[in-house]
Each structure stands twice: as C-alpha cells, then as structure tokens.
C-alpha cells in the first residue's frame, strides 16, 4: 500500500505515517473531501500557507528541548524537503515552509528516526506543551518542571479524548513565580510550588485555567492554589473531557476554553470536571523524574584557547546573554535569533558545538530564541568566539531590542500587514537611536500580523497588530494598531495592553520614537514603564499618538508595506488554526466506522479507557449525522445528546432501551473496566447499526416521494 519504506520501529508511529500517506492518496483521487482532509493533515502538523501548492510543516518539540542529533535531523529534513530555513515559534516549535504535500509522510518518517514528531502540532488537539526555557537550571525554581511537561506531552499525544476537539488547547509550565512560561494566557497553566506536609516538602502546582490571547484576551482563573504533583495528569484529563463535550464546535470564534468557562462560570465548570473523575483510568499519576535527574556529562574536558579581540563587546555579551545556572560553575548562553529565523548551515555547526562542549542540549524559547545550557565558566570565551562566527553573539538576548514577531504576510494565510518587515525597521531604529535600550530587559515589543496574536502583541508593553486603512477614495494601505500597557506581573497574573490608535504602517517607527522619547522625558525616578503608563493614563497616550492616525495626507510610500516594493493588496486566506467542522452525512458516518475500529483495537489491546472514549465518540458522531438530517444545531457534544433525545427519541423516530442521554453518559458514571468497556463498545456498535438502517430508510423514503 505504501509508496515508501518508513523504517520506523514504533508500530504506532508507523501506522500514523502510513495513514497520512493513504489519506493524501485518497484526497488526490477525490475520495475524501477537502475539508475533512484538512482536519486530518492539520492533526499531523501539515498546515496550508499563503503560497499556493505548498505546506508549512510544524515540528512539535516539547518544552523546546533539542539535542545535537535532533537538530542535525531537522536541518537535513529542511534541506531535503524545504529551503534550508528554520523558524522558531513562540510555542518553542520549529516550522519549515514550502513543502510539497506529497512528501510530508516521507519527511515525517525521517524526523521520527530521532524521535521527533509532527503529530498534533496543528489542529483541534493539545498543541505543543511549553515551559520556561530555564526549567532545570533556574536558581530560583522550587524544582524542575521538565519531567511534568514531558509527562503531559506523552500522556496526551494520540490520546482519544483530545483528537477532535472544537479548537486547539494550549498548556504551559512556569519554573518560578516570575511566570516566564506565561501561564496566565493559556488554557491550562502550571506554576511550580512547594509546601510542607508533615515535615516533608510536597511538590505541586498553582493551576491557571482558561486564559487566552486573540481578539478577546482573557486573564486565566486560578483553578487550584496548590495541586499535588500526582494529580496533574488526572486534572488535565478531566478538563479536556469537559472541553471536548461542552465546547463550541460550529462558531469557531467562540470555540476556545476561555469562552466555555466564561459562559458556564468557574464553579459550574469545576463541578463538571469533578463528575469526570470516576471515568478516569488514573485517579493519581506519579511522574517519573529519574530520566531528568541524570548527572550532567560532557563529551570532552578540553578548554580550547581563544583570543578575545573586543573585550568590551565580550563583557557586554556576558552581561546580556549569559545566565547563571543553579548548578555550580555552569552557565546558560542566550542567542538572540532575529525574527526566529536561522539556516541549516548554522544549525549544524551549533549542533556540533553543544554536542562536544555543552552536554548536548539546547532549548528554543518563547521569544523565538535559543538557550544553550550547561556551559562551563571557563568555556564562555570559547563559546563567544564560536557563536560570533555564526552571527549568534549579538548582545541583547531577551531585551527590548529582541522583538517578537509572527511571520505575518510572509507565509501566513491570515496575515493582514507585514510584521517581519516593520520589525526589521524597529530594531534598526533601536540600535541606532536608542543604544541604551540594548540591555533593557524591563520593556518588550511584540508584533502580530493579525488579531490572532501569534506574536503576542496584546500582552506586550508596546504592541503592534497588523491591520489596514481605507481612504475616502477607497484606496487601501497597510496599517498597525498600536497597543500599550501589557505585561507579565508574575505568579499567574498578567495584564493586557490597551488599544490606542491605528496608524499607517510606515508611521509605526515614529510611534515608537514618540513613546520612548516621552518615557525618557517624563519618567519619575526608578519608575518602570507600566507604572508610568498607569500614571499618565490611556487618554494621555491617545492624544500623544492621535496625529499619526490621520489618513488624509498619505504619500505614495504609505501604500507600500514594509519589506515590499509593490503597492499593498489586502489578501486574507482561510485560517487553519482549528480546521473546519464538516456536516456531510456520509462523511460523518464514515468517521463513526473508523472510530469503531479504533475502539475495537483499543479494547483488544486492553486499553479500557481509550476504548471507552472511542465508543463515546462513535455515539456522539453518529447522533450528529442524524441530527444534521433534521437540520438541528450541533454546536456542542452535550447539545447533540440533548437534541437527539428531543428530536429523535421523544418523537419516536428512533427507539432505544433508554434515553440517549442515559446511554451516552454511562461514560462518566462507570470506572474504565473490562466489563464496562465491552458493554459500551457493543452498545456503540448497535447504535451505529440502528442509525445506519434509519438513514437508509430516510433515503429510500426521499426517493419514493420524488
């Protein structure tokens, strides 16, 4: 069946890759509709990009950790299947662009040889689990959150409860109360905490729930002030089950967890999570920390001799880019990666460097940078020299000069205005006109090409969002919404920036100059930017920038976006961040057949909880197919259950031994045992057969009436 050899030892992974290849073939043959195929490929990290006929591939790298071998593998794949450019995302992933759809299974198989996956890097699933890049080395951390982030990644990868949710689901772990993992803006966020219990230190987490960015940012609620470590996985599973069942599925803009929690209320949501506990396979789930507590080992003890030509530049680099680790005598080295983009030739040399001299580990960061870990103090001069050869020794790691930006109109379908082009200009201005800010780590600038906030613009001190403006004579120019006042406050608290004015993109740099100049002129002693903003007030800054929003005096240059040489054209494609819900009856019933196969396979493998959840999916999906015939709403799974009783059971169109509600919700009233898994699977099979007969009868009646 397959057109290539995967050479993958893991049969689960191999099956996944071959399934992608098979579905690509069926799609090409017209046997799978485009929307259903989109959902499948997104769940396998294959994302359509702005340019026709090519894909963006997102490589899922839990908490951003990469070894030398993995970085070499990623570089080789990028050269073979793409154009040799690697892009670091704000979720610690790597993206490569311009990949042919036909070659994606082969690409995936190559990555898996070094234990790298594409699975669920996109789509309506649990996305990459992120964490503070300093986890495990932070001098202030209560403990290393890495084992917990890894366990979360492993447990929910391919887990049936989170394969086809209404929208994506994001989780983050912070090493300290500083909240460098940005937990306050995630669906679930975890901050490392400890407390004394009977004279012993107990590990746990402060848990944040239902935060998010986008066009309607929301501060996460405190779910637990302290959750014991072995309750981490069961709690996440309970939340995912509730989100899967009650989350919006038709109205994409309302399909995130933050809207569900807002609608239900936190107390009601918590009660629903508690109701799921009986159905969980694990009431507690101990985390295996041993693999992450190994002694740090170096390939060589050699200390190469180097000569530093510019001592001042070296000392400046040490001040801004080098971090003390909690391990005595070891340091982490930050690399500022402009726009998160670097190339495979440099990646390979960097991989060789960390393999030999840095315990073979680096982590990609939430600000699209690289952090090399475990560098001995005596090797810092050598690393500076070697990194400088690669162009990786620029000072200003995590400083104001280190601007975060999404790809924007370069490759993204949703991009409205250039985010990368204006970033280049703003960084130039900062270097040339504001050199004192190179070491400033108290201010952040973030830029997104649209309202979806992939560049996190609405949580920055100064943010810019790509937009457009239309003149009275209907000419369209690229624009930027200017936002001020966002930031991370720590311990799960943050603040979102206020929208001030919309200015033509070419005036973005002038807006930045005005803000920085005013801050320098009116800042009180030791006053930080957010305090200064609050003291002056939103209206003050609106008045300060208002004149830049005047579009009656646009020049020819204003109609050309940053980094472009032609007049701006607003072109927004179809976003794929969540996939599209398909209501084709035949497709839905076909999906039910596939889920029945998965339920049976899991049962035969004695995976009772997985089998039960697949059976649940069969019941809901099949009911959705029949409700679609009735023209009923199918926004949520809970709504489907309720409507099926009202429209098909209560009206005697379909007869069951009980209500559909009672049939379906056995799932959270029974523990996942062999007996219940078998009974539930048989009931799912019987219901599917009943629905299939009913559907065929309806088709027959329809033909007779014609």
Cα separation of 22 and 29, whole Å? 11
Instruction: Specify whether 287 is located in the same domain as 349.
Output: no
- What share of the chain in percent tops pLDDT 70? 95
> Do residues 344 and 75 touch, judged by C-beta distance below 8 A?
yes
Per residue in 347-365, is it b (16+ CB within 10 Å) or e — as a string?
Answer: bbebbebbbebbbbbbbbb
> Do residues 120 and 60 touch, judged by C-beta distance below 8 A?
yes
The count of other CB atoms within 10 Å of the CB of residue 71 is 25
User: Is residue 574 in some structural domain?
Assistant: no
Q: What CATH number should be reported for the domain holding residue 331?
A: 3.90.480.20
pLDDT of residue 413: 66
User: Is residue 570 in some structural domain?
Assistant: no
Instruction: Specify whether 436 is located in the same domain as 526.
Output: yes
pLDDT of residue 276: 95
* End-of-domain residue from the set 541, 559, 577: 559
User: Is residue 539 in some structural domain?
Assistant: yes
User: Is residue 701 in some structural domain?
Assistant: yes
More reliable by pLDDT, 611 or 19: 611
Instruction: Specify whether 244 is located in the same domain as 376.
Output: no
pLDDT band at 68 (very low <50, low <70, confident <90, very high): very high
pLDDT of residue 571: 57
Q: Across residues 447-469, what is the average pLDDT? A: 92
pLDDT of residue 5: 60
**pLDDT tens-digit series, residues 431-455:** 999 998 888 999 999 999 888 888 9
Instruction: Specify whether 88 is located in the same domain as 150.
Output: no
Q: What CATH number should be reported for the domain holding residue 658?
A: 1.20.120
**pLDDT tens-digit series, residues 470-484:** 998 889 999 999 999
Nearest to 445 by CA among 437, 134, 550, 525: 437
* pTM of the predicted protein model: 0.92
Mean per-residue pLDDT of the chain: 91
What residues form DSSP beta bridges with 469?
A: 477
Cα 249 to chain centroid, rounded: 19
8-state DSSP, 535 = H
Cα 183 to chain centroid, rounded: 13
Residue 449 belongs to domain spanning: 404-559
222: Cβ contacts below 8 Å, ≥ 6 apart = 206, 207, 208, 209, 492
User: Is residue 575 in some structural domain?
Assistant: no
pLDDT of residue 700: 65
User: Is residue 268 in some structural domain?
Assistant: yes
Instruction: Specify whether 463 is located in the same domain as 601.
Output: no
Catalogue the E-assigned strands of 549-593: none
Q: What CATH number should be reported for the domain holding residue 480?
A: 3.30.413.10
* End-of-domain residue from the set 559, 594, 612: 559
654: Cβ contacts below 8 Å, ≥ 6 apart = 626, 648, 690, 691, 694
pLDDT of residue 1: 38
Write down how long the chain is: 706
Q: Which two tokens stand for residue 671?
A: 């523990």
Q: Which of 372-386, 545-559, 570-584 has the lowest mean pLDDT?
A: 570-584
Number of domains in the chain: 5
Instruction: Specify whether 59 is located in the same domain as 155.
Output: no
Cα separation of 638 and 306, whole Å? 66
Q: Which two tokens stand for residue 408?
A: 């924007």
**pLDDT(572) > 60:** no
**pLDDT(352) > 60:** yes
Cα separation of 691 and 650, whole Å? 16
**pLDDT(494) > 50:** yes
The torsion angles phi and psi of 391, rounded to 5 degrees, stand at 75, 20
**pLDDT tens-digit series, residues 134-186:** 999 999 999 999 999 999 999 999 999 999 899 999 999 999 999 999 999 99
User: Is residue 398 in some structural domain?
Assistant: no
Cα separation of 244 and 159, whole Å? 12
pLDDT band at 311 (very low <50, low <70, confident <90, very high): very high
Instruction: Specify whether 604 is located in the same domain as 692.
Output: yes
**pLDDT tens-digit series, residues 622-679:** 999 999 888 899 999 999 999 999 999 999 999 999 999 999 999 999 999 999 999 9
Instruction: Specify whether 382 is located in the same domain as 433.
Output: no
pLDDT of residue 581: 32
User: Is residue 283 in some structural domain?
Assistant: yes
Q: Across residues 408-416, what is the average pLDDT? A: 72
Instruction: Specify whether 310 is located in the same domain as 368.
Output: yes
Instruction: Specify whether 509 is located in the same domain as 646.
Output: no
Q: Which two tokens stand for residue 244?
A: 């899967």
Instruction: Specify whether 272 is located in the same domain as 307.
Output: no
Instruction: Specify whether 360 is located in the same domain as 453.
Output: no
Q: Across residues 558-565, what is the average pLDDT? A: 89
* End-of-domain residue from the set 324, 355, 389: 389
């Amino acid at each position: 069946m397959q057109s290539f050899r995967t050479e993958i030892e893991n049969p689960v992974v191999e099956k996944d890759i071959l399934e992608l290849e098979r579905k690509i073939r069926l799609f090409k043959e017209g046997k799978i509709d485009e929307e259903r195929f989109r959902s499948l490929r997104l769940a396998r990290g294959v994302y359509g990009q702005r340019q026709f006929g090519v894909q963006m591939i997102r490589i899922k790298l839990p908490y951003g950790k990469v070894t030398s071998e993995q970085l070499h593998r990623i570089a080789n794949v990028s050269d073979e299947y793409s154009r040799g450019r690697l892009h670091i995302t704000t979720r610690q992933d790597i993206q490569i662009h311009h990949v042919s759809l036909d070659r994606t299974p082969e690409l995936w198989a190559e990555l898996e040889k070094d234990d790298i996956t594409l699975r669920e890097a996109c789509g309506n699933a649990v996305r990459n689990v992120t964490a503070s890049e300093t986890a495990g080395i932070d001098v202030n951390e209560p403990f290393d959150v890495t084992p917990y982030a890894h366990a979360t990644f492993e447990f929910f990868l391919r887990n049936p409860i989170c394969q086809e949710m209404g929208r994506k689901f994001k989780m983050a772990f912070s090493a300290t109360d500083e909240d460098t993992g940005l937990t306050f803006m995630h669906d679930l966020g975890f901050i490392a905490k400890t407390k004394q219990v009977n004279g012993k230190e107990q590990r746990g987490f402060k848990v944040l729930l239902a935060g998010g960015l986008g066009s309607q940012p929301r501060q996460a609620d405190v779910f637990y002030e302290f959750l014991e470590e072995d309750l981490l996985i069961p709690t996440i599973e309970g939340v995912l089950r509730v989100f899967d069942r009650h989350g919006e599925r038709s109205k994409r803009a309302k399909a995130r967890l933050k809207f569900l929690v807002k609608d239900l209320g936190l107390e009601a949501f918590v009660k629903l999570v508690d109701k799921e506990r009986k159905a969980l396979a694990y009431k507690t789930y101990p985390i295996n920390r041993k693999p992450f507590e190994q002694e740090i080992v170096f390939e060589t003890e050699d200390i190469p001799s180097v000569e530093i030509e510019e001592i001042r530049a070296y000392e400046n680099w040490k001040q801004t880019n080098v971090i003390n680790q909690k391990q005595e005598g070891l340091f982490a080295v930050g690399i500022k990666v402009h726009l998160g983009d670097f190339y495979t030739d440099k990646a390979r040399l960097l991989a060789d460097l960390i393999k030999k001299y840095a315990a073979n580990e680096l982590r990609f960061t939430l600000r699209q940078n690289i952090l090399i870990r475990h560098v001995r103090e005596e090797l810092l001069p050598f690393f500076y020299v070697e990194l400088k050869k690669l162009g990786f020794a620029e000072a200003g790691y995590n400083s104001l000069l280190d601007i975060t930006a999404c790809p924007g109109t370069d490759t993204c379908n949703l991009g409205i205005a250039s985010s990368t082009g204006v970033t280049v200009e703003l960084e130039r201005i900062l270097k040339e006109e504001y050199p004192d800010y190179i070491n400033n780590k108290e201010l952040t600038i973030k830029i997104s090409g649209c309202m979806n906030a992939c560049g996190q613009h609405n949580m920055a001190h100064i943010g810019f969002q790509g937009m457009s403006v239309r003149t009275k004579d209907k000419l369209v120019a690229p624009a930027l919404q200017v936002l001020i006042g966002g930031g991370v406050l720590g311990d799960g608290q943050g603040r979102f920036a206020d929208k001030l004015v919309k200015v033509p993109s070419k005036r973005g740099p002038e807006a930045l100059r005005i803000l920085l100049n005013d801050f320098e002129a009116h800042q009180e002693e030791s006053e930080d930017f957010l305090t200064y903003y609050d003291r002056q007030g939103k209206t003050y800054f609106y008045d300060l920038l208002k004149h830049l929003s005047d579009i009656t005096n646009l020049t020819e240059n204003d109609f050309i976006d940053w980094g472009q040489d032609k007049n701006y054209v607003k072109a927004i494609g179809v976003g794929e961040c969540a996939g599209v819900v398909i209501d084709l009856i035949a497709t839905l019933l076909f999906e039910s057949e596939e889920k029945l196969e998965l339920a049976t396979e899991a049962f035969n493998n004695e995976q009772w909880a997985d089998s039960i959840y697949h059976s649940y999916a069969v019941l809901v999906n099949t009911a959705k197919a029949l409700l679609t015939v009735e023209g009923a709403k199918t926004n949520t799974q809970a709504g489907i259950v309720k409507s099926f009783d009202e429209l098909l059971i209560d009206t005697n169109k379909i007869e069951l031994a009980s209500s559909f509600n009672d049939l379906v919700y056995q799932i959270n009233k029974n523990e996942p045992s062999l007996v219940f898994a078998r009974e539930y699977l048989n009931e799912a099979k019987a219901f599917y057969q009943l629905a299939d007969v009913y559907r065929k009868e309806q088709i027959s009646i329809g033909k007779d009436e014609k």
